[in-house]
Amino acid sequence: MSNKAKGSKAERELYELFVQNNFRAVRVAGSGMMENTACDLIAGKASENGKHKYAIEAKSSKAPVKYITKEQIESFIVFSEIFGLTPVVALRFNHEGWLFINPHQLRDSGKNWVISLDEAKNIGMKFSQFFNSSDNNVQQ
């Protein structure tokens, strides 16, 4: 399976996770392949506390460390701000399930932003923790 196919499979899995939790979600066509497609999914949900809208950048890795270019994260944050969406990085390391973080929690490695599996386990949250708790968890 190609890296593109693996990424698409992870995005579909993440999309289903949002739908199963009563969010409205869409996968962004051409994400990562075309200009101006700076996120993988857009998801939202209305609740008693208002509307919650997110831009999601999905990253999966079989390695214990994930590197993301600074340019990609910068574009992702700008895209999120333009549309009034809260940016969220969704991470899936093999056999660990999804963990969610604010992009500002990534560590600067010089050329890239980086996060290790151990860091993700310490600062990341599972879906229900991240999206069903107070918005303080996802604010920039």
Q: How far apart are CA 22 and CA 16, in angstroms?
A: 10
Is 20 a residue whose pLDDT tops 50? Answer: yes
The model's confidence at residue 117, banded by pLDDT at 50, 70 and 90, is: very high
Query: Is 31 part of the annotated catalytic residue set?
Result: yes
| Domain positions in the chain | 3-137
Is 68 within 8 Å of 80 (Cβ atoms)? Answer: no
The model's confidence at residue 133, banded by pLDDT at 50, 70 and 90, is: low
Of 2, 31, 61, 128, the catalytic one is: 31
CATH classification number, 3-137, choose in 3.30.360.10, 3.40.50.620, 3.40.1350.10, 1.20.1290.10: 3.40.1350.10
Is 13 a residue whose pLDDT tops 60? Answer: yes
Nearest 5°: CA angle at 137, between 134 and 138? 105
Is 140 a residue whose pLDDT tops 60? Answer: no
Is 135 a residue whose pLDDT tops 80? Answer: no
Percentage with pLDDT > 70 across the chain: 86
Q: How far apart are CA 48 and CA 137, in angstroms?
A: 17
**Whole-number Cα distances in Å, 33 to 28, 37, 62:** 11, 8, 21
Q: How far apart are CA 56 and CA 28, in angstroms?
A: 10
Q: How far apart are CA 64 and CA 46, in angstroms?
A: 35
Structure tokens at 8: 């698409």
Structure tokens at 1: 């399976």
